[in-house]
Amino acid sequence: MNYPLELIAPSNYVLATTEAENAPIVLAGVLLSLIVIYLASKLGGELSRMLDFPPVLGELVGGVVVGASALHLLVFPESGATASDSMLMTVLQLFDEISPEAVTSIFESQSEAVSILAELGVIVLLFEIGLESDLRELQKVGYQAAIVAVVGVVAPFVAGTAGLMLLFNVPVLPAVFAGAALTATSIGITSKVLSELGHLKSQEGQIIVGAAVIDDVLGIIVLAVVASLAKTGEVDVFNVVYLIISASAFLIGSILLGKFFNKTFVFTAELFKTRGNIVITAFIFALFMSFVANAIHLEAILGAFAAGLVLDETDKRNELDEQVIPIADILVPIFFVSVGAKVDLSVLNPVVPENRQGLILAIFLIVVAIIGKVITGWSVFGKPGINRLAIGVGMVPRGEVGLVFAGIGAASGALDKPLQAAIIIMVILTTFIAPPLLRLAFGDAPQDAVEEADAAS
């Protein structure tokens, strides 16, 4: 019996083997990148925790250390790096002889894979934040928190954008982006610090956390609007109005539709009996919402956030929460470390004269970021004797969402390197100074019982 020729040497054999030669090296590059990312995130996070700062800050700083600013282990072509800038590619070349053309293609393939993993990381992060934001709790805190939130979004946004345009002649688009990056208070960091200080359940603490939640939602809408502007490259009033309406309609619409989907979700998850019935069903929904948000030219993360809000209302919430945690644990650090790694802090090195403009920009952003949030305390009405300074200071820490702004702004080309570096420095500094300032503002006298703080941490 003869074996047909095509079975011995199929036409795509040569192509397939050329690709196949590179595939294990691309995989090796991705594995090495992930090892670097996890080491940076864990070492940075733990060091940060030991110094009493939020771990996320350490993950970011860990990213800065392994990235374009220092070790060059993790660099990305979209920030202008080539394969020869990458220490990781140098390591890979120790194990395999790689031709010069292959080096570039391997570098780009593995960087793209890491970027997609980071994007999936931020989608999971926003899904988790959505799962953690309780719509009913929010309704309780009511108007006080809403006013603090709105002031805390409008004040730094207007002051930041206008200041950058008028004082520094920054073009509209980057100015709007940087202004928007000043808006969102970090729920995670704020509530962590409050619980550590024992003020989570105080009147001030309740308003701060409520405002931070609303603030995050507003921030994500602002992000969706600003990122879409970055795609078209110009600020068109009609477009802004369309985006604000579509982002709000998407979020409100998904919450309303969610009341119906809740039951479908629980029904489907219970119908399924194989492994991963809850988490895969939830992921199909979250990815679908992300895809829809992306398809109507909003941000994918807005969809993930909406999906989280919706599923938080179901009976499967606790089970889902538990299963999402390990998934977030392995995907989210890829995002934070990548954001840190993409920043080139050397553009702010004060020794180089031409960097000083960027430095002044960073100082300006930090000042606006702090003052724009501290004043929110004085927007609280009908609460004589409340600690207004504490509320304002409590709103200062930025964090996850601010970094999302920096990451997406840089990826879309709206933010140049000095502005991006200035935003990262702003996020790092506001988060670093918040814990000691809050201690000062509260006069170092914890009000809650210790077990409450422990329960919330």
The residue range among 19-27, 63-71, 149-157, 372-380 that interacts with a second copy, by the rule CB under 8 A, is 19-27
Judged by CB under 8 A, the residue of 16, 249, 257, 455 near a second copy is 16
Q: Does 70 bind a second copy (CB under 8 A)?
A: no
Residue 74 backbone phi and psi in degrees, to 5: -125, 95
User: For residues 416-455, which are near a second copy according to CB under 8 A?
Assistant: 416-419
Q: Does 160 bind a second copy (CB under 8 A)?
A: no
Q: Does 276 bind a second copy (CB under 8 A)?
A: yes
**Measured from the CB of residue 249, what is the shortest distance to a second copy in angstroms?**
18
Rounded Cα gap, residues 292 and 310, in angstroms: 15
CB closer to a second copy, 142 vs 232:
232
Residue 372 backbone phi and psi in degrees, to 5: -60, -25
Mark residues 394-413: x for contact with a second copy by CB under 8 A, - for none.
-----------------xxx
Q: Does 324 bind a second copy (CB under 8 A)?
A: yes
Q: Does 456 bind a second copy (CB under 8 A)?
A: no
Q: Residue 237, Cβ neighbours under 10 Å: how many?
A: 7
Is residue 301 within 8 Å of residue 217, measured between CB atoms? no
Return the structure tokens found at 398. Answer: 């930025």
Buried b (16+ CB within 10 A) or exposed e, 109-143: bbbebbbebbbbbbbbbbbbbbbbbeeeebeebee
The residue range among 14-22, 62-70, 256-264, 377-385 that interacts with a second copy, by the rule CB under 8 A, is 14-22
User: For residues 221-250, which are near a second copy according to CB under 8 A?
Assistant: 230-231, 233
Q: Is 177 exposed, middle or buried (0-12, 13-18, 19+ CB in 10 A)?
A: buried
Specify the length of the chain in residues: 457
Short-list 109, 102, 105, 96, CA closest to 33: 109
Judged by CB under 8 A, the residue of 52, 137, 236, 329 near a second copy is 329
Rounded Cα gap, residues 356 and 48, in angstroms: 29
CB closer to a second copy, 300 vs 365:
300
Q: Does 156 bind a second copy (CB under 8 A)?
A: no
The residue range among 195-203, 247-255, 281-289, 374-382 that interacts with a second copy, by the rule CB under 8 A, is 281-289
Rounded Cα gap, residues 393 and 456, in angstroms: 20
Judged by CB under 8 A, the residue of 274, 351, 384, 445 near a second copy is 274
CB closer to a second copy, 167 vs 440:
167
Q: Does 171 bind a second copy (CB under 8 A)?
A: yes
Cβ-based neighbours of 371, under 8 Å, separated by 6 or more: 159
Question: What is the residue type of 194?
Answer: L
The residue range among 192-200, 272-280, 365-373, 429-437 that interacts with a second copy, by the rule CB under 8 A, is 272-280
Q: Does 295 bind a second copy (CB under 8 A)?
A: yes
User: For residues 86-145, which are near a second copy according to CB under 8 A?
Assistant: 95, 109, 112-113, 115-116, 119-120
Q: Does 252 bind a second copy (CB under 8 A)?
A: no
Q: Does 253 bind a second copy (CB under 8 A)?
A: no
Short-list 380, 371, 45, CA closest to 210: 380
CB closer to a second copy, 146 vs 165:
165
Checking 85-90 for CB contacts under 8 A at 24+ apart, the result is 88/29, 88/32, 88/33, 88/36, 89/29
